[in-house]
Structure 1
Amino acid sequence: MSEKSFQFTIEPWSVIRENKEYPTPIFNLLHRKMKLEAKDEKNEGDFYVLKAPDWVNVIPITKNQEVVLVEQYRYGIEQPTLEIPGGMVDPGEQPLESIKRELIEETGYSSANWSSLGKVSSNPAIMTNYTHLYLAEDCEMITSEKPRGDEHERINVHRLAVDKFLDFVADGTIHHSIMVAAVARFLLKNEQEARSEK
């Protein structure tokens, strides 16, 4: 990825007070009293944010150039989705450790060939965390046991040719925004590599 070249000019807000309003196993709802002290403006406000652990996902590609995908039911939209594998960074883990574990747990596949696709803000308007994106190449199935997710997680594993996978992103079949962000980084990586070979 290129070095940061954009110069941010907007003044930051600072936290006056922060309270945990509501805890859940996945995130905590925080109430922040914040203030802005700009040259020409003073302002205070109440803001609500979700404090969550960092997340990880991976585009896993087999030696046959197939992407390994997971189909699961998503309770927010009350529909099944087709996604790349991913999950939360557990306490004490580094993001790469977490995604290697998640890939095996969700799909039975593993890889020795990993590269980072960077990280993205999960939703900077209301969330504190980042999602770390990875590419795993030459993936191989190392266990044929049924994928074991969390207590209420049921997973079906699918393999699609890379072109078909990209078609499903383009037509909206694959629509999870953080997954689409990983695809954008994947395509940018491929484009940069192609340019450097010229």
Structure 2
Amino acid sequence: MSNLTWKTCSSTYIYKGPWATLRSDKCEMPDGRIVDQYYVLEYPDWVNAVAITEDNKVLMVRQYRHAANIVSLEIPGGVIDEGEEPHEAMRRELLEETGYQFDDIELISTVYANPSTADNKTFCYLAKGGKKVQEQSLDEHEHLVVEEYTIEEVKQFLADNKIAQALHCTGLFYALMKLGKL
């Protein structure tokens, strides 16, 4: 198999922000051709989870997503804080967004949202046996509603294209396979 890897010759930062950073790389392709400007979005890594309560309900969250101008039905998740391990971030996000605590959390896939333009990855988990231990503790700009569904209802949402977030669909499909429900 031939080498497909590009060599990064230099990087220039165009914008650095708390949620996204844009840089331009000068790259050399394996055949020696030079790509003068390849734009890369740097994001923090993310986590999400298919969270199943002790009553065998799947916790979903409904929230407004401004970039797409939609109200989106999603699985719980969020950004991994600097220095935080992915599984710790997942436990924290589940507790903050849903008020449920999960002791049984298993990594089921690691995926990239768009590896052609963004460098971050998403760690997808299956969380089982969740118990409600507190109310939500949301970030300043978060407003989301927690909803509970059966596994069959979630499968129908997927079949009916009712879940718009691609990374959340991915996590759901991996979880359904792991649970033997596909």
Match of 1:25 in 2: 18
In structure 1, distance between residues paired with 2:97 and 2:166: 20
Q: Which ranges in structure 2 are unaligned for 5 or more consecutive residues?
A: none
- Provide Cα deviations, 1:47-71, integer angstroms capped at 9, x if missing partner: 0011111100000001221101111
Q: CA deviation at 1:151?
A: 1.5
What is the deviation of 1:165? 1.0
Within-5 A mapping of 1:55-74: 55-74=46-65
Matched with 2:150 is 161
Partner SS, residue 120 of structure 1? strand
The answer (yes or no) to whether the contact 1:169–1:175 under 8 Å persists in 2 is no
Sequence identity, in percent?
33
> Which letter maps to 2:177?
L
* CA contact 2:3–2:30 (8 Å) conserved in 1: no
Residue 141 of structure 2 is matched in structure 1 by 152
After TM superposition, the structure 1 = structure 2 runs for residues 177-192 of structure 1, keeping only pairs within 5 Å, are 177-191=166-180
Where has structure 1 moved over 3 Å in runs of 4 or more? none
- SS in structure 2 opposite 1:92? coil
Q: Whole-Å Cα distance in 2 between the matches of residues 11 and 177 of structure 1?
A: 27
Aligned twin of 1:130: 121
Aligned residues: 181
Taking structure 2 as the reference length, what is the TM-score of the superposition?
0.94
TM-score, L = length of structure 1: 0.87
CA distance in 2, matches of 1:14, 1:153: 39
In 1, are the aligned partners of 2:58 and 2:151 still within 8 Å (CA)?
A: yes
| Mapped pair 1:90 → 2:81 | yes
Q: CA deviation at 1:175?
A: 1.8
Deviation of 1:163 (Å): 0.7
Report the 3-state secondary structure (helix = DSSP H, G, I; strand = E; otherwise coil) of the residue aligned with 2:44: coil
For the residues of structure 1 that align with 2:168 and 2:93, how far apart are their CA atoms? 15
Distance 1:37 1:175 in 2: 37
Cα distance in structure 1, aligned partners of 2:137 and 2:129: 22
What corresponds to 1:53 in structure 2? 44
Structure whose alpha-carbon radius of gyration is higher: 1
What displacement does 1:9 show? 4.1
Quick check: 1:119–1:132 contact (8 Å CA) kept in 2?
yes
Residue 161 of structure 2: aligned partner: 172
Alpha-carbon RMSD across the aligned residues, in angstroms, is 1.6
Alpha-carbon contact 2:54-2:130 (below 8 Å) kept: yes
Residue deviations 1:12-39 (CA, integer Å, cap 9, x gap): 111010011011210100110101133x
Matched residue type, 1:44: I
Q: Please list every run of 5 or more consecutive structure 1 residues that lacks an aligned counterpart in the other structure.
A: 1-7
